[in-house]
Amino acid sequence: MQKVAVIGSGYVGLVTAACLAELGNRVICVDNDKKKIVSLKKGIMPIYEPGLEEMVLRNKKAKRLNFIFSIKEATEKSQIIFICVGTPSRSDGSADLSAVEKVARAIAGAMKEYKVIVEKSTVPAETGEKIKRTIEMSNSRKVAFDVVSNPEFIREGQALTDAMHPDRIIIGVASKTAEEIMRKLYGPLKTPIIACNIETAEIIKHACNSFLATKISFINAIASICERVGADVEKVAEAMGLDKRIGRSFLNAGAGYGGSCFPKDVDAFIHLAHVKGYEFELLKAVRRINDEQKKVLFKKIEEALWIIKDKTIGILGLSFKPDTDDIRNSVAMDIAKMLISAGARLKAYDPKAMPKASAELKGVKFCNDPYEAARKANCLLIMTEWDEFKRLDLEKIKKLLSHPVIVDGRNIFGPAKMKNMGFIYKCIGRG
């Protein structure tokens, strides 16, 4: 059992804290948002993530997981301190690290004995070194400490499985003592551990997210060519994926990537490379293709409806991907806003994201189910591939729509089947 503090109870922090408690450690989770801590103490989750609530409640009940406001108290009571605070993008694409710096100073001020300070927030390379310098400057008692970079690879919607069964764990570290402490912490997961220096660990995180974003933009570029020559991108992806060197995952053509990670991380890596004197042209193209994908989709809606103004469009899916209520950088939200600006009347349905989306989308009618969104609409637009949508009663949808038009931004139905059913069906990269 190790004594752990997790500073920042957002997505990464809360999942990290719950999973480390599940492994038998005593974990204190901290946040400066008092309302959030009060709610968490009552067992109310600030986000939707399958299984998280149960895991938090179980570990709270077992007194392995606790929520408090004070970084000082959490630092005093713990040996390993994870920094999991937000690192939002600035307008130039660089990451705003002011929260990380503030937390590092607060930890330094509270240290009375050796601590391992772990950077888990997604940060640009060389942040570990900056955290170390910051702590040295505020460490008036000259207490020994080590900084570790331990990047996170959890996906929203599958965060608990990813955290409990990771493909690998990265420990960027400069001291044997800290390496041993971290190996002991993650030992029960029985997963390969890559120990390396801090900078290497930081670049591993940049490289993984950028590579995955590259796969998505690559297949979206292939989809655009498929449409021009009458090929089927789904078959292309399936065949490419069977080559073990390539793999099938992250080759789903669609409306493009969104979320709180890929867009921000790609920007940050391009920015970091630029500052270091390398123009990352490949990643700039990845970003451009992703941005253009929204226009590709919008054009398909225009092709289907001709004039968008005053048309009623049903939107299925608002979250940036299925199994989450997260709408940050959601392509669905961007398209909804583009349609509103073009004068469309929107009816929307999402299984989880409507409470968050309703604060941002004005004048939209939020519906109780997908069928209500389709009723009397000129077109149904699929933006997030929730399982619920894959199982829709399409005959019923056809009857409800005022025109049998479906624009599918996530390729969840096959064009042949839809055509046979009498739909005008537009998807991405399929003939």
By CB under 6 A, which span of 35-43, 59-67, 222-230, 253-261 interacts with ligand UGA?
A: 253-261
Given candidates 67, 280, 320, 386, which one binds ligand UGA under the rule CB under 6 A?
320
Considering the complex, what minimum distance in angstroms separates the CB of residue 156 from ligand UGA? 4
Rounded Cα distance between 327 and 134, Å, is 34
Given candidates 29, 170, 216, 353, which one binds ligand UGA under the rule CB under 6 A?
216
Given candidates 53, 58, 76, 153, which one binds ligand UGA under the rule CB under 6 A?
153
- Look up residue 296 and give its two tokens: 């590709």
Considering the complex, what minimum distance in angstroms separates the CB of residue 148 from ligand UGA? 17
Paired sense of beta strands 80-83 and 115-119, if any: parallel
Can you name the residues that pair with 98 across neighbouring β-strands?
Answer: none
Is position 370 an interface residue for ligand UGA (rule: CB under 6 A)? no
Is position 156 an interface residue for ligand UGA (rule: CB under 6 A)? yes
CA atoms within 13 A on the CB side of 219: 31
Is position 258 an interface residue for ligand UGA (rule: CB under 6 A)? yes
* Residue 427 annotated in active site: no
- Give how far the C-alpha of residue 59 lies from the chain's centroid of Cα atoms, to the nearest Å: 25
Considering the complex, what minimum distance in angstroms separates the CB of residue 363 from ligand UGA? 25
By CB under 6 A, which span of 260-268, 335-343, 357-365, 417-425 interacts with ligand UGA?
A: 260-268
DSSP-assigned states of every residue in 150-194? ------TTSHHHHHHS-S-EEEEES-HHHHHHHHHHHGGG---EE
Using DSSP, state whether 363 is helix, strand or coil: coil
The CA–CA distances, whole Å, from 183 to 217, 243, 311 equal: 36, 34, 58
Is position 333 an interface residue for ligand UGA (rule: CB under 6 A)? no
Is position 286 an interface residue for ligand UGA (rule: CB under 6 A)? no
Cβ distance to ligand UGA smaller for residue 308 or 382: 382
Considering the complex, what minimum distance in angstroms separates the CB of residue 18 from ligand UGA? 16
Is the CB of residue 362 less than 8 Å from the CB of residue 383?
no
Cβ distance to ligand UGA smaller for residue 172 or 258: 258
Can you name the residues that pair with 89 across neighbouring β-strands?
Answer: 95
Cβ distance to ligand UGA smaller for residue 134 or 324: 324
φ, ψ for residue 236, nearest 5 deg: -60, -45
Is position 212 an interface residue for ligand UGA (rule: CB under 6 A)? yes
Considering the complex, what minimum distance in angstroms separates the CB of residue 420 from ligand UGA? 27
Is position 262 an interface residue for ligand UGA (rule: CB under 6 A)? yes
The CA–CA distances, whole Å, from 333 to 90, 258, 361 equal: 21, 10, 8
Cβ distance to ligand UGA smaller for residue 145 or 257: 257
Paired sense of beta strands 80-83 and 65-68, if any: unpaired
Is position 257 an interface residue for ligand UGA (rule: CB under 6 A)? yes
Rounded Cα distance between 26 and 203, Å, is 30
Element containing residue 35 per DSSP (H, E): helix 34-41
- DSSP state, 95? B
Size of the site for ligand UGA (CB under 6 A): 22
Cβ distance to ligand UGA smaller for residue 165 or 399: 165
Considering the complex, what minimum distance in angstroms separates the CB of residue 53 from ligand UGA? 18
Is position 259 an interface residue for ligand UGA (rule: CB under 6 A)? yes
Is position 127 an interface residue for ligand UGA (rule: CB under 6 A)? no
Is position 323 an interface residue for ligand UGA (rule: CB under 6 A)? no
Is position 155 an interface residue for ligand UGA (rule: CB under 6 A)? yes
Cβ distance to ligand UGA smaller for residue 135 or 164: 164
Is the CB of residue 346 less than 8 Å from the CB of residue 364?
yes
Give ∠ CA 380-382-383 in degrees, rounded to 5: 140
Residue whose tokens read 């990265």: 170
Is position 389 an interface residue for ligand UGA (rule: CB under 6 A)? no
Is position 294 an interface residue for ligand UGA (rule: CB under 6 A)? no
Question: Footprint of ligand UGA on residues 64-103 (CB under 6 A)?
Answer: none
DSSP-assigned states of every residue in 287-325? HHHHHHHHHHHHHHHHHHHS--TT-EEEEE--SSSTT--
Q: Name the catalytic one among 29, 261, 367, 427.
A: 261
φ, ψ for residue 98, nearest 5 deg: -65, -35
- DSSP state, 88? -
Q: Rule CB under 6 A: which residues touch ligand UGA?
A: 122, 152-156, 209, 212, 216, 250-252, 254, 256-259, 261-262, 265, 320-321
Catalytic (active-site) positions: 261
